[in-house]
Amino acid sequence: SQQGEEDPQALSIQEGENATMNCSYKTSINNLQWYRQNSGRGLVHLILIRSNEREKHSGRLRVTLDTSKKSSSLLITASRAADTASYFCATAADYGNNRLAFGKGNQVVVIP
Amino acid sequence: KAGVTQTPRYLIKTRGQQVTLSCSPISGHRSVSWYQQTPGQGLQFLFEYFSETQRNKGNFPGRFSGRQFSNSRSEMNVSTLELGDSALYLCASSSDQTGGLTGELFFGEGSRLTVL
C-alpha cells in the first residue's frame, strides 16, 4: 500500500514567511524522512525522524511525528527564494533494507 | 566525496528497444536503490542491491531488471520499452551503517528516459 502521502497542496508564500506541509501514512514505520527536489533533479535528504521521536530540528527545518495519527509535518521557517522546490515525505517500514515509500510531494514556491 | 553519478542523463528510445542505465554510488556505500518517477505515479521503488545481491524488489514487471557489481556500481535494464516507461530514473546509495535501520539515501541527478 502507498505510504507517505502528503496533503496534495501547492503552496505559494512570500519570502520570510513560514511554510508548513503535512504527510500521512498508513502502516507502521521505523522512520520518516523528508526530501527536497528542485525542478526534476535528484532528491536531497533534509531530515530523518525515528518512530520513537516526536520532534526534530535542523536549521530552519522542524519536523514533527505523531505515530498515533500516522502523520508528520514539516515546517520551514523564514523561507527563502532558494526553498522553492517540491518536498516529499518518505516512510521506511522495513528493517534490513533501504526501501522507501514516497508521497506525491508538495510544491512550494517562495516569492522574493 | 563525489556524489552519486548516473549515466546517461538523458536518452530517447523507441518502443520495443531496451535500455541500460548506470549508477556509481558514493565511495564506500554498498547499498544502491533505484526509483522511477513519473508525473502520474510519483516516486516508485524499483529494487535495491546490497553487496551484489538484490535485497528488495518493487512491483514492476520482469522487463525491469538490475544488477550490482563488486565495486558497488549498479545497472538497471528495461527491455521491450513501452511508452509508459518514460520517466526519470533515480538511483540512490546508502552507507547502510545503521544496524539494519533504513537511513538517509543519497540520490543522483537521474536519467531521464523518453520512449517514442
What is the SS3 string spanning chain A?
CCCCEECCCEEEEECCCCEEEEEECCCCCCEEEEEEECCCCCEEEEEEEECCCCEEEECCEEEEEECCCCEEEEEECCCCHHHCEEEEEEEECCCCCCCCEECCCEEEEEEC
- What pLDDT does B86 receive? 98
Would the pLDDT of A92 be above 70? yes
Q: Which of A43, A100, A105 sits opposite B102 (nearest CB)?
A: A100
Phi, psi (degrees; rounded to nearest 5) at A70: 55, 55
B45 with A48: Cβ contact below 8 A: no
Closest partner residue to B48 (CB to CB) among A48, A88, A99 is A99
| Whether the predicted pLDDT of A8 surpasses 60 | no
* Alpha-carbon span B75 to B59, nearest angstrom: 18
- Look at the block and give the residue holding cell 554498498: B30
- What tens digit of pLDDT does each residue of B54-68 get? 999 999 999 999 999
**Cβ partners under 8 Å of residue B99, min gap 6:** none
